[in-house]
A = this chain, B = another copy of it.
Amino acid sequence: MKKKITLKHIARELGVSISTVSKALKNSEEIGSDTKEKVQAFAKLYNYKPNNIAISLKNKRTKNIGVIIPDIVHHFFTTVFRGIEKYANAKGYNVIVCVSDESFDREVINMELLANGSIDGFIMALSAGTQLKNDYNHLKEVTEQGIPLVLFDRVTEDIKCDKVIINDKKGAYNAVTKFIKDGRKRIALITTEDYFSVSRERAAGYREALSDNGIAYNEDLILKFPSMTIDENVIEDFFNREKVDAVLSVNEIFAIHSMRLVQSKGLKIPEDISFIGFTDGLLSKYASPGLTAVAQHGEHMGEIAAEMLIEKVESELEEETYITRVLEPTLIERGSTIN
């Protein structure tokens, strides 16, 4: 087993000082050309690579960024992550991922763990637990220490930091408007409880589109699930009870379940009932018929988040200006809607 070689080894072996070796490897003008050659040749021969940890300690910069997301087995988050990773890697940064599993406690623990020198900045989406608890002290502590933070998708007004979100309200508005143009009257909304910032925004867009088109808001057409997991019976009851000709769902899973259910009841999609779902993921693409979807452009969102973070990390001056980038959603039309 050949252990990693250090500057000290090279110095001892070549009979020079550590500083000489360090400078020689950086091609410093201070070092004579023959010494430089000798050192560089030796270093190449033994495949010397500087120790990242030592450099991090010296520079107080790790070149790591911490990403905390609620779930990794989730198409949208992985696309965001891909964007982050791609941009960060191109800039020479590594990405440490922690999964909060939608839990407040795990979010706090992971943040505190990483905040003690392991990373130069955070990119994160709030866990369900955190949004429910409405407690953001762990974020506040981190920002007060001067560690840059970028929130994406699931954000909060309570923390001053850079943010990147999509215009969820507009996404819902556009979807509902499309339904109405297609002549739909009884448009349902399948969503989660309101503590998710995104669900609130989408519900607002839904209401506004109805109102702008002179359709009365009808509480009976709103189906709320308390969490991400769904109860088949609740869906069935809902569709047995309410006559619905269009459905906007805040995620794919709810939409797909509903589509299968109404199909099993003999309804035709999109003739009898149309569907649009948020998050243009695999399921939307491969459902039959394909699910018209509000694309959230996760990868782009990730790139922007990484760009904003690295910008802050590398800027010397600590400005107190924070911006929120709002990305425009796109409606991807498929077979679940008319045309």
Interface residues in chain A, defined as those with a beta carbon under 8 Å from any beta carbon in chain B? 1-4, 47, 49-54, 56-57, 62, 64, 72-75, 78-79, 81-82, 85-86, 89, 94-99, 110, 112-118, 141, 144-146, 256, 260, 263, 282-283, 286-288, 318
Contact assessment for B98 and A144 in the assembled complex, using a CB-CB cutoff below 8 Å: no
Contact assessment for B73 and A75 in the assembled complex, using a CB-CB cutoff below 8 Å: yes
Contact assessment for B73 and A79 in the assembled complex, using a CB-CB cutoff below 8 Å: yes
How far is it, in angstroms, between the C-alpha of A145 and the C-alpha of B51 when the chains are bound?
14
- From B73, B97, B256, B260, give the contact of A97 (CB < 8 A): B97
Contact assessment for B53 and A57 in the assembled complex, using a CB-CB cutoff below 8 Å: yes
How far is it, in angstroms, between the C-alpha of A115 and the C-alpha of B47 when the chains are bound?
12
How far is it, in angstroms, between the C-alpha of A214 and the C-alpha of B180 when the chains are bound?
60
Known: A112-B49, A282-B282. A96 touches B96 (CB 8 A): yes
Contact assessment for A94 and B99 in the assembled complex, using a CB-CB cutoff below 8 Å: no
How many Å from the CB of A312 to the closest CB on chain B?
A: 13
Known: A72-B82, A283-B283. A52 touches B145 (CB 8 A): no
Which residues of the other chain, B, contact A54 by a CB distance below 8 angstroms? 57, 117
How many Å from the CB of A22 to the closest CB on chain B?
A: 16
Contact assessment for A144 and B2 in the assembled complex, using a CB-CB cutoff below 8 Å: yes
Contact assessment for B94 and A94 in the assembled complex, using a CB-CB cutoff below 8 Å: no
How many Å from the CB of A98 to the closest CB on chain B?
A: 7
- From B52, B110, B113, B145, give the contact of A117 (CB < 8 A): B52
How far is it, in angstroms, between the C-alpha of A89 and the C-alpha of B114 when the chains are bound?
12
Which residues of the other chain, B, contact A1 by a CB distance below 8 angstroms? 144-146, 318
Which residues of the other chain, B, contact A53 by a CB distance below 8 angstroms? 53, 56-57, 62, 117-118
Contact assessment for A145 and B98 in the assembled complex, using a CB-CB cutoff below 8 Å: no
- From B47, B56, B286, give the contact of A283 (CB < 8 A): B286
Known: A72-B78, A75-B73, A283-B282. A50 touches B116 (CB 8 A): yes
- From B50, B57, B85, give the contact of A98 (CB < 8 A): B85
Contact assessment for A89 and B98 in the assembled complex, using a CB-CB cutoff below 8 Å: yes
Which residues of the other chain, B, contact A95 by a CB distance below 8 angstroms? 96-98
How far is it, in angstroms, between the C-alpha of A95 and the C-alpha of B69 when the chains are bound?
13
Which residues of the other chain, B, contact A57 by a CB distance below 8 angstroms? 53-54, 57
Which residues of the other chain, B, contact A118 by a CB distance below 8 angstroms? 52-53, 64, 94
- From B99, B112, B145, give the contact of A82 (CB < 8 A): B99
Which residues of the other chain, B, contact A141 by a CB distance below 8 angstroms? 47
Which residues of the other chain, B, contact A82 by a CB distance below 8 angstroms? 72-73, 99
How many Å from the CB of A125 to the closest CB on chain B?
A: 15
How far is it, in angstroms, between the C-alpha of A184 and the C-alpha of B247 when the chains are bound?
40
How many Å from the CB of A165 to the closest CB on chain B?
A: 20
Q: Which of chain B's residues has its CB closest to A109's CB?
A: B89
Contact assessment for B96 and A72 in the assembled complex, using a CB-CB cutoff below 8 Å: no
Which residues of the other chain, B, contact A75 by a CB distance below 8 angstroms? 73, 282
Taking A2-B144, A95-B98, A286-B286 as known contacts, 9 extra A-B pairs with beta carbons closer than 8 A to each other, sorted by chain A number, are A3-B145, A4-B116, A4-B117, A4-B145, A52-B116, A64-B96, A78-B78, A94-B113, A282-B282
How far is it, in angstroms, between the C-alpha of A95 and the C-alpha of B2 when the chains are bound?
25
Which residues of the other chain, B, contact A62 by a CB distance below 8 angstroms? 53
How far is it, in angstroms, between the C-alpha of A98 and the C-alpha of B97 when the chains are bound?
10
Contact assessment for B114 and A94 in the assembled complex, using a CB-CB cutoff below 8 Å: yes
